[in-house]
Structure 1
Amino acid sequence: MDLIERTTEMLSDFPEPNELSETEAEAVVENLRSLVRQHDHRYYVEDDPVVTDAEYDRLYRALEDLERAFPNVRSEDSPTQRVGGEPISAFEKHEHPEPMLSLSNAFDAQELRDWYDRCRRGLEDVYGDVAPVVVAELKIDGLAVALTYQDGHLDVAATRGNGRVGENITHNVRTIHRIPMVVPVSGDQEPPDRMEVRGEVFMRKSEFEALNERLRDEDEQAFANPRNAAAGTLRQLDPSVTAQRPLSFFAYAIGPTTGGTPDSHHATLEMLGEFGLPIESHTQQFDDIDDVVEFCESWIDRRDDLDYEIDGVVVKIDDLPYQEELGAISNAPRWAVAFKFPAREATTTLEKIIVNVGRTGAIKPEAVLAPVQIGGVTVSQATLHNEDYITDRDIREGDTVVVKRAGDVIPQVVQPVLDARTGNEEPWEFPTHCPECGTELVRLDDEADWYCMNTECPAQFRRLVEHFVSRNAMDVEGLGERVAHTLVDEGLIHTLADLFRLQVDDLTPLEGFGQKSAQNLVDAIDAARDRTLARLLFALGIRHVGRTVAETIVEHFASIDDIDAARQEDLVAIDGVGPVIAESLVDWFDVDRNQELIEHLKEVGVNTKRKPQEAPQDEVDTDELPLAGKTLVITGSLDSLTRKDAKQLIESAGGKVTSSVSGNTDFLVKGENPGSKYDDAQSRGIPIVDGEDALRDLVDGNEVPASSS
C-alpha cells in the first residue's frame, strides 16, 4: 500500500485512545510515526508534499494524543520529539548553537486561553500572580532560517533542518536583497559582536504568480504554492538561479547573541528593525488575552488581504525573563504558541467536470468532487476557472486533486496529485456549444473564457438575477439561488425590474412559500429599492464592473443618467478605470434593452441617484451624513468586511472608529466571536449593532434595531 493510500485509510478511521489496549496502541503509534516521518521527508526534504497541512496536523495530533495516553509507548526518536526533517545531504551541515524549536498549536480561542492560563501558573512561584504582556505576530508560511552576523557582517545562514542541525545556505541567502549583508544598515547603534537572527524566508504571492508564469513560458515545471517556491529556491545548489527568483524575509526572533540585548521580545524586534532587518508590520502587544483572541480571529478572513501567505498567528510572552522561567518542553517552548487558522485545503477525487453559463455568457468549468470537509464546510464542487487553467495543470476527470477554500472565495481545484494517478484518468475537452441553449461558443481575442453570445439564453438571466440580489449587490434577504431560478423558470420575472412588481399572491403558489414567507420576501425586495447607487451599478452585472470599480465611478457621477451620458474618454480619466472597463460601460448603456431596464427600474422606485455618503469628501456636507458625530467600536469578525473595510465604511458615513469602549461610544458593532469590548458595551448599556448587515443598514441611513443585550 502506497503512502497516499495508507494516509487516507488512517485519516478515515482514527481510533480513540480509550478504545485501545496498550498493545494495540503500540501498533497504531508505530504506523502513525512511519506516516509522519514520510510526510516530513516529502515536505522538508523533497519539497513535494502529498497531503495538506490540515491532514498532516490531524496525523501529528493523533500521534501526540496516543503517546500522552500511553506513556510506555513513547520513544525518543518519535517525530513528536524533534522538529522538522533531516538536512539535505548535498549541503554542508550546520549545527545550531541553540536548537530552533517548533511551536505547540492552538486551534481555537479556548486552547489559546488555556495556554495563557498555563503560562500564568508557571510564573506564580517566582513572580506571583502576574498577567504577562503578550506579543502577537502573523505566522508567515515560508522556510525558517538562522542568520549569524559576526562583527556586523553576515557570516552564516542556515535552515532549521531537524532543529539541531540544518543546512548551510549562506551562498543562496547572500543573493536575497531583502536581507542586509551588513548591520546596522542605518543609525548609530552598534550590533553585538556575534548575533543570530531567526526569521522566515518566503515568496510574495504577486511575485510567485509572476515566477510561475515565467516558468511556464520557458516550459519548466511551475511551483504548487509560494511556500514550495521559496523552499525550492533557497535549496538551489546554483546561487545564480536563486538570484533570479524573488525571495523575501521577515525577522521574528534573536538567537544566541553576545553582549546586552533588550529584556522584551517586542523591544528585540524593534532593535532588529533598527539594524535594517525587515519586520512584519502587523505585530502587536496586548495585555488582555481577550484582545489577543480577537486579533487572531480577525486575521482568519483578512489573510487574503496580504501579499504573502500566513497560516496562523504566533503568540509569545513578551518579557524575556518570563520566557526563561517558563522554559521549554521537549521540542517546543512553553512561552509561545501558534494559533492555527482553520483548514483551507484538502485532497479529494475529481469525479467529473461540468460547465455553467455565467451572467455575462462566460462558460465556466466546474469540478464535481467527492465531498470533503474544508474548514468545517462540506465542499462538493469547485471552480476550474477556464480551459487554459485545466490544460496547463493537466487536470483530469478521476484525478486526486488539492482543493482550496479561501475565506468567502469559491473553492478551487489547485492541482492534481500526480503520484496518485492510476492510469485510468481521462483528459477533458472543452464543449463547443452552450449546454443551455445550444449556441456555438466563441472565444474572444485576448480572453481566457469561451462565451455564449445568445443574449436570450435563459441560463444567463438566471445567473444575472442571482447576482443582482446577492449580499454585495442589492442584498435581498431570502432570495437565494433556488428562489431566483424558480422565479425565472416559472415566468414570474422577465427583467430585473419585474422583481419589484412581485406580489404576495404571485409567490404563495410556489413550493416552499406560505403567506408569511411570501410577505417577508416581498418586504425584503421592497427594502432593496433604497440601496446605494454603487450597489445598483454593481448589481446590473456589467462586464468588468466589480464592486470597487462601481464605488469609484459613483464618486464621479451623481446619478445613473450621468453615467449613461459619460463618454469613454471621461471614464478612462478616472483613476482605476481603464479602457477595457470604460468600453464595457459604454457598450452596455448603448444597448436599447438596457436603456429600457433603467427606465423600468426608475418606474418601480429603485434609487438611481448617489447618496450623500457616496460623494467625494469635498462635496459632502458631513453634518448630513447618517453617522455624523457618532463614535463606533468594532469587535469580532464580520462576514465579508475586513476591519479596515468596516472602518472606511463607517468613516464614509461620517462616523469615527475607536479601539476601546468608553462613555463617548455611540454604537458597538458586534461580529462573530466578539471580545471583552462586547461585555463592556453591554455593561454600559451601549447599543449593539449585530453583524455586517446591520452595520450596512446603519451606514445607508436606515433605522437599525440596535440593542444593548
Structure 2
Amino acid sequence: MVAETNTSAELDAAHAEADALTTRILELRDAYYGRNESLVSDEEYDAMMRRLEAIERAFPELQGQDSPTQTVGGRAQTLFDPVEHAERMLSLDNVFSITEFEAWAARVQRDAARDVQWLCELKIDGLAINLRYEHGRLATAATRGDGVTGEDVTENIAFIDSIPKRLAGEGHPPLVEVRGEVFFPVEAFHRLNAAQAEAGERVFANPRNAASGSLRQKAEGKSPAQLELMRARISELRMLVHGVGAWANPPVAAQSQVYDLLAAWGLPTSSHFKVVPSIEAAAEFIEYFGEHRDSVEHEIDGVVVKVDELALHDELGATSRAPRWATAFKYPPEQVNTKLLDIVVSVGRTGRATPFAVMKPVRVAGSVVRQATLHNQDVVKSKGVLIGDTVVLRKAGDVIPEVLGPVVELRDGSERAFVMPERCPECGTPLRPMREGDIDLRCPNARSCPAQVRGRVEHIGSRGALDIEALGEVSAAALTQPDVPQPPPLVTEAALFELTVDDLLPIEVVVRDAETGLPKLDADGSAKRRTPFRRNPTAAEKRDGLTGPQPSSAALTLLSELEKAKTKPLWRLLVSLNIRNVGPVAARALADHFGSLDAIRAASPEELAGVEGVGGIIAESVRQWFELDWHVEIIERWSKAGVRFSTPGHLGPEAAAEAAASGVLAGLTVVATGSLEGFTREGAQEAIIAAGGKAASSVSKKTDFVAAGPGAGSKLTKAEQLGVRIIDAAQFAVLVREGPAALEG
C-alpha cells in the first residue's frame, strides 16, 4: 500500500511538472514562430524539451499526441494564407555531445544491418521553407508552420534572387518539394540592425528572427516607400536547400546525389557538406566546425548528420516528429539570455569613456561571460536596453561578447534607463568629445587620470610593446591606484624605470569583486586588502635574522624584467610611449628609417610622413606627442634610468633596404598564425622581417606561405580556400633560416 501511495504521489508530481513544461514550451513556440521573439535562449528551451522527454519516458501514460515532444515547430499561423505541405515537414532530434552522437549513430548502424555512409552538413540557424515545384515551375513557397500546414510566402520569396522561379534543365518531376533554410548572411544581418537602430526601429536579437520577421511581412497597408524598404530587406535574404519532400521515385540513390541534382536545376546548395565512411569521421567534421564556426558566411548552431543512402531512409522510418535516419548535433550556444545587472563606465588608456554591461554570469560559446562593451551612450540608446532587463547576449566566433538587445516581453516595470555620467568616474574631470562630431566622450586629463595611467602602464608591459613579465593588469593597477593613504608610485609612467623594492613593498590594494567592482569585506566588515609585492619571511629567513616584510616573487620578477626592457629594440620603445596611431608596423618603419628617438624628434612632419608605412596622420600624431612637456619628461627620466632609445649599428634606410633585399625571404609574404612552437607571436613576425620578408596580418592571394599552429582559426581556413601553402612550426623555422628552397624535397 505504501509503495502504491508513493507511486501515485510520484505520478501526480510528474503530471504537474509535465503540464507546466508543456504550457511554457507552447508559449515559447508561439513567440518564436509566430512573433519572431526569443524569450529564452536555445539552451534553456532545449533543456525544457529534454526534461519533458525524460518525464514522458519515465511515465509513458503522460505522453499525448499533442505533446510538444510529438509535434513539430509552431502552430499554423493566420497572418498569411495556409498551405498544406504535400509531405509533412518533420523536425530533427538533437544530441549535445560527441558521446550522445556516437550512441545515436551506433544504433542507426545496428538497425541498418549494413555499412552506412554519413552525410554531414552545417545546421543553418534560419527559417525553414518548403518550395513546391510543379513541372519545374515554382507553385508555392511556405513556412514549416506545424509541419502539416504552413504560411504562403510565395509573393515575398519572389524578391530573393537566388531562388529560381523556373528550374534549369529538363525532365522535371510533376511535383517535387524542396526544403531549405532562408537566412541573413552575417554581414547583411549587421547592416540590417545598424539601419534599424539608426531609424529608431527595433533591432533583431539574431539572424533567424530577422529572417523570419523580414520574410513574414505583409504588403497590405504599406506606403510605396515602406514597400520599397520591405522588398530591399527581403532581397538581402539567401536560401540554401538541404533536402526534398514529396517526390515520387527520385532517379538517384543517395542524399548527396540529390544535392547534385538540385544544384543542376539551379537551386542554391551548400558547399559545406561532406560524405564520410565512419562514425569517427563524422565526429571529426562536427569538431572541426565547432572550432571554425566564424569561418562560415551564415550563422550555424550545429551539424546535421544524415544517412546518405535513400533506401535506408524508408527502412529506418520516423517518429511522429523526427526521422530516425538523421540527427542534429547542437553546439554550445553562441547566443543566450541573461540579466543586465548594471551599466558601468570604464575609462581606457586613451581617455575614452566606455559603458560596459555587467551581467549575471552566463556560459556562452564555451566560456563564462560577465560583461560586454556597449561602446558609447548612443549605442546603449539604439539597443534599447534598460538596467534590469533580460538581454540577448551573443558571442561570435571566439572573441567578443555582444549585447544584442532586450527581451522586452519580460520587463516587469522595475527596469531603469542608463544615464551617461558627466564627469570621469576615476578623476572627476568633465567628460567631453575631443573633436567636433565625435560620438565618444573622453576624459581630457590624460596626464594624471588614474584610469589612463593604469591603461598606459599595462600597455607598456604587453606583448606588443615591451613584453614585461609581471607587468599586467593587476600590477598596473597596484602601481597606479593603491588603496592606501599615500601617493601611488606611478602618477604618470615617467617613474616606471626608477622603481625600487622600497617603492613596491608598502603597496596595498583593496580586493574587489570581479562582477560588481565593490570591495570584498573581511570578517570584521573592513575592506579586504592584499599586498601583491611583499610577503612574510620564511622560517629559514627568520633564523637568519630577517624579521621584516620581504619582496614577493612578483616584485623581484618585475624589477628584473624592467632592467631587461631598457635595451629592448627601439620600435618596441616607440610602441610603449603610447603615441596615438603608432602601432608595431609604424614603429618598425620609424625605427628602421631613423635609428634613434632623437632623430625621430628632430625630423620634420614631411620627413616623417615620407617614411613608407607612416603617412601624414601618423606623422602629425608623432609631432603632437613631442609638444607636451609631460611626454618629454617621460623620455628624459627613462633615458636617465638607462633606457636606450637608439638602435646600435643602425644601417640607415638605404643600407637596411639592401639588407632586406638580400634576405632569404626577399619579396615573399608570410602570415604566422596560431601557436608556433619555438616562437612567440611577435617573435615569428620579427623572424620573417629579419629574413627580408613581409609579415602580413591577413591571408590573400598574394600570400606565399601561412605558418599555422594550434589555434590558427579563420586564417588557416582562408589559406585552404585560396590554396596558399601551409607549413608547420618546424618548417617555418627552416623557412626563415634557409629560405623556401630548403622546404623542397
TM-score range, shorter chain: 0.7 to 0.9
- What is the CA-CA distance between 1:231 and the residue it aligns to? 0.5
Deviation at 1:542, TM superposition (A): 5.6
1:30 deviates by 0.8
1:56 aligns with 2:40: no
Structure 1 residues 244-293: Cα deviation after superposition (integer angstroms, max 9, x where no partner): 21211112223333454433333332332333322333333434544543
Q: Distance in 1 between matches of 2:456 and 2:385?
A: 29
Comparing 19-28 and 513-522, the one that deviates more: 513-522
Q: SS of the residue aligned with 1:148?
A: strand
Q: How far does the alpha carbon of each residue in 1:454-490 deviate from its partner, in whole angstroms, 9 at most, with x for none?
A: 1112211212333454567766666542222113336
Give the Cα–Cα distance (whole angstroms) in 1 for the partners of residues 446 and 571 of structure 2: 24
- Is the 1:193–1:258 Cα contact (8 Å) retained in structure 2? no
Matched ranges for 1:114-129 at <5 A = 114-123=103-112, 125=113, 127=114
- List aligned pairs for 1:163-242, cutoff 5 A: 163-184=147-168, 191-238=172-219, 240=227, 242=230
Measure the CA separation in 2 of the matches of 1:372 and 1:103: 27
For the 8 Å contact 2:675–2:712, the answer to whether it is kept is: no
Q: Say if 1:625 and 1:653, in contact at 8 Å, map to a contact too.
A: no
Residue 283 of structure 2 is aligned with which of 266, 290, 293? 293
Relative to structure 1, the CA distance from residue 593 to residue 370 in structure 2 (aligned partners, 3 Å threshold; closer, same or farther) is same
Q: For structure 1, list consecutive stretches of 5 or more residues without a partner in the other structure.
A: 1-16, 640-644, 658-667, 673-687, 702-709
Structure 1 residues 624 and 210, CA gap change in structure 2 (3 angstroms):
closer
- Report the CA distance between 1:494 and its aligned residue: 6.6
> Could you tell me how far apart the structure 1 residues matched to 2:126 and 2:606 are?
45
SS of residue in 2 equivalent to 1:346:
strand
Q: What is the rounded CA distance, in whole Å, between the counterparts of 2:642 and 2:426 in structure 1?
A: 32
CA distance in 1, matches of 2:77, 2:703: 55
1:175–1:460: structure 2 CA closer, same or farther, 3 Å change rule?
same
What amino acid does structure 2 have at the position aligned with 1:486? A
**CA positional deviation for 1:55:** 1.6
Where structure 2 has 5 or more consecutive residues not aligned to the other structure, the ranges are 1-5, 221-226, 483-487, 508-530, 536-551, 652-656, 682-695, 714-727, 738-745
Residues 435-464 of structure 1: CA deviation (Å, up to 9, x unaligned): 112211112333321001111122112123
For 1:110 and 1:484, how far apart are their aligned partners in 2?
Answer: 45
Map residues 331-346 of structure 1 onto 2, 5 A cutoff.
331-346=321-336
Partner of 1:559: 592
Between the aligned partners of 2:237 and 2:350, the Cα distance in structure 1 is 39
The alignment's C-alpha RMSD in Å is: 4.9
Q: What's the counterpart of residue 123 of structure 2? A: 139
Q: Identity of counterpart residues, as a percentage?
A: 38
Could you tell me which amino acid in structure 1 is paired with residue 105 of structure 2? Y
Change in 2 beyond 3 A, CA 1:559/1:345: same
**Residue in 1 aligned with 2:342?**
352
1:83 aligns with 2:116: no
Query: Are the aligned partners of 2:203 and 2:405 in contact in 1 as well (CA < 8 Å)?
Result: no
User: Secondary structure, in 3 states, of the residue corresponding to 1:206?
Assistant: helix
Q: CA deviation at 1:120?
A: 2.0
* Aligned-residue offset at 1:34: 0.6
Q: Which residue of 2 aligns with 1:396?
A: 386
Residue pairs, 1:212-291, within 5 angstroms? 212-238=193-219, 240=227, 242-245=230-233, 246-258=236-248, 260-291=250-281
Aligned residue in 1 for 2:427: 437
Match of residue 488 from structure 1: 480
What CA distance in whole angstroms lies between the structure 2 residues aligned with 1:566 and 1:71?
Answer: 84
Contact 1:101 1:333 in 2 (8 A): yes
Query: 1:609-636 CA deviation, whole Å, 9 max, x = no partner?
Result: 99xxxx99x95844799999x99999xx
Residue of structure 1 aligned with 2:36, choices 43, 47, 50: 47
- Cα distance, 1:176 vs structure 2: 1.0
Query: Whole-Å Cα distance in 2 between the matches of residues 470 and 24 of structure 1?
Result: 57
SS at match of 2:53: helix
* Residue of structure 1 in register with 2:684 after alignment: none
What is the CA distance between 1:387 and its match in structure 2? 0.5
Counterpart residue number, 2:717: none
| 1:92-145 residue CA offsets vs partner (Å, 9 max, x unmatched) | 22222222221222222222322322222222x3x2xx3x33333222211010
Aligned to 2:12: 23
Q: 1:449 aligns with which of 422, 440, 447?
A: 440
Report the Cα distance in structure 1 between the residues aligned to 2:609 and 2:135, rounded to whole angstroms: 58
| Match of residue 355 from structure 2 | 365
Between the aligned partners of 2:493 and 2:734, the Cα distance in structure 1 is: 26
Q: Could you tell me how far apart the structure 2 residues matched to 1:263 and 1:578 are?
A: 62
Kept in 2: contact 1:47–1:231 (CA 8 A): yes
Q: Which amino acid aligns with 2:18?
A: V
SS in 2 for 1:256: coil
Is contact 1:401–1:416 with CA below 8 Å preserved after alignment? Answer: yes
**Aligned match of 2:21:** 32
Q: Deviations over 1:193-239 (max 9, x none)?
A: 43322111111233233333434444443433322221011111218
SS of the equivalent of 1:450 reads coil
Question: Quick one: which amino acid aligns to residue 431 of structure 2?
Answer: L
CA–CA distance in 2 between the matches of 1:582 and 1:261? 68
Change (3 A) 1:42 1:632: closer
Superposed, 1:93-112 pairs within 5 Å as 93-112=82-101
CA contact (8 A) 1:192 1:259 kept: no
Q: TM-score, normalised by structure 1?
A: 0.74
Equivalent position of 2:309 in the other structure:
319
Q: Please give the per-residue CA displacement for 1:120-171, whole angstroms capped at 9, x wherever unaligned.
A: 2222x3x2xx3x3333322221101011222322221111111122111111
Secondary structure of the structure 1 residue equivalent to 2:286: helix
**Match runs of 1:507-522 below 5 Å:** 511-512=531-532, 516=553
CA gap of 1:18–1:356, structure 2 versus 1, over 3 A, is: farther
Kindly provide the CA deviation profile for residues 398-445 of structure 1, in whole angstroms up to 9, marking residues without a partner as x.
333333334544434332232233333332221111111221111233
Q: 1:66 aligns with which of 55, 59, 63?
A: 55
What TM-score, normalized to structure 2? 0.71
SS at 1:333 equivalent:
coil
1:632–1:86 CA distance, 2 compared to 1 (3 A):
closer
Distance 1:249 1:573 in 2: 48
Q: 1:570 to 1:605 in 2, by over 3 A?
A: closer
Distance (whole Å) between structure 2 residues aligned to residue 561 and residue 506 of structure 1: 36
Amino acid aligned to 1:176: I
Moved more, 454-463 or 357-366: 454-463
Aligned length in residues: 631
Mean Cα displacement is larger for which, 461-470 or 171-180? 461-470
Q: Secondary structure at the match of 1:451?
A: coil
Question: By how many angstroms is 1:530 displaced?
Answer: 10
1:452 partner amino acid: C
Contact 1:193 1:259 in 2 (8 A): no
Bigger Rg, which one: 2
Partner SS for 1:238: coil
Q: Deviations over 1:75-102 (max 9, x none)?
A: 1111111111012213222222222221
**What residue is the counterpart of 1:6 in the other structure?**
none
Does 1:423 pair with 2:413? yes
Letter in 1 for 2:318: A
Can you list the C-alpha shifts for 1:35-72, whole angstroms capped at 9, x where unaligned? 00010000001112221222212211111121122222
SS of 2:359's equivalent in the other structure is strand
C-alpha displacement at 1:342, in angstroms?
1.4
2:644 and 2:281 map into 1 onto residues whose CA distance is: 45
Secondary structure of 2:210 counterpart: helix
